Every structure is written in structure tokens, then in C-alpha cells.
A = this chain, B = another copy of it.
């Protein structure tokens, strides 16, 4: 995804103070690390410091596990035992998609994977409806139909248990709700915290919940939008990764808005997913830093 050149991606956060950049960059320099991309940010409200560094793997004389072991010491010395991660772009990201009947986001992601633009593994697509099974299988990807019996809460809970099994089996880097029309139960929000991404078909916080294009039409807005965000137990209220909008007018019916909105949903989700997988998104409270 980051091109063919293998890299290690360090993401790190700690309370801001003098000398953090010096500490991290000196550590890397001493090991011969070639920094390909570096980004920094301090949140003035909370005084929290964030950084993301991409280092050429072949510039370091050791492997990723050794980098992790050594960086742990650096992090500890900066007062941050746990708020860091070292990723290896040599490991391909695994993504599981949850879908329903609306196929535009699925089609779009399948196309990006097939064309090589998105260099990920798609070990499973799970649908609460069989409609998107054929196109998924035509791309050589296993499709699992997990029906939700109508009006049967117990059956719904069982369906989510089945989905959890199917997802967790692959330990994915991202679980993408690609216009999956069900609300994740709290235990799944917790289990997949920080790696469950949703695409909501409005410019949040406007038009939370069901039928946002109908809400937008009724309010007479002049732009409709889409929001890619992390899923939390609060409906449509998780940290926002990316948003975009498209212009609509009085001549656009709800179904025109739906159609125009789809183009925004697709690209917003694709961008959000890419950034997530490239470890560009650092969550801080209910906001994100996107490097």
C-alpha cells in the first residue's frame, strides 16, 4: 500500500515537552534509520504530542521485533508506556467487509483491490443479505451470508455472534461497515475499538441515524455529505476520519441525492480506510489526528 519499498511505521503519543523530537530522531539516527516521512502535532487543548514516522526497513540493521523492543525504551523514557505502535508495511493488511444490499461501496473497494490500488487482503465479505454474494465471489473472495431474522432480537444477537466469529478468525486490521445497515452491539464496538470503520451517508453531526438523505431533503440543504468514522457505542458519534460533500439543488429528489451522495461515500470511505491502514490516523478522545 505504501509502494513496494518496505517501511516501518512508528506512531507515538505522549504529553508534550521539550526534546521529544530530538529523542526519537536521535534514536533513529543512531541506528542508521532513514526517515522517509515524518509528521508531528501537539494538541494545544490537552497538551498531547503526536508523531508518525516512516523509516526505510532496509536502513536499519535489525528486524521489526528488535525495533519494537528498542523503541519501547524510548517511549518509556518519554513517559508513554503504551501509546505507541510499530508497524511493518511488509505485512499486508487484512480487511473484512460487512455489507447489506447497497453495493456501491463494495464495488468500489473490490475495484480498488482488483486494480492493485489498494494492496490488501480481503479474506471475507459478510452480508446480512445475499444480494452482494455473486460479485464478491466473482472477485475470488469468500462471501458469508448471515441473515438477521426479522423482529427476532435473539436471532439478531446470534447473527452478531456468528459475524464476530467470522471476523475474528482473520484478526483483521480493519472491519469496514460498507453500508452495513445494522447497528453494532456494544460488545462488538468494544472488541473492535479503533479498527471498526463506518461510512455514514451524511455530513455528521447533521442527520444522525436512519435515512439521512431524507432528512437532508426535508431540511433543504444545498450540499450533502458523507463521513467515515470509527464505530463507538454512541451511534454515529465516533471519531471522524474523513468527510466530503457534494452540491445538490432544488431539482434533486431524494433519490438524486442518494445517487450523488454515493460518489462521495465511496471516495470518503476509500480515503479513510487507506489512511487507517497506513497508520495515519491517531485517535485522541473523540477526535482524530490524520497525518
Contacts and interface: CB of A to CB of B under 8 A. Distances in A.
Contacts of A267: 263, 267
A93 interface: no
Interface stretch (A82-90, A151-159, A190-198, A237-245): A237-245
Contact of A115 (B107, B203, B245, B250): B107
A169 B290 CA distance: 44
B223 A245 contact: yes
Interface in A1-56: 3, 18-19, 21-23, 25-26, 28-30, 32-44
A138 interface: yes
A289 B41 contact: no
Interface in A222-245: 222-223, 225, 239-245
A32 B59 contact: no
B117 A262 contact: yes
A270 interface: yes
Nearest to A283: B220
A272 to B, nearest CB: 10
Interface of A: 3, 18-19, 21-23, 25-26, 28-30, 32-44, 59, 102-104, 107-108, 110-112, 114-115, 117, 135, 138-139, 203-207, 219-223, 225, 239-245, 247, 249-251, 253, 255, 259, 262-263, 267, 270, 286-290
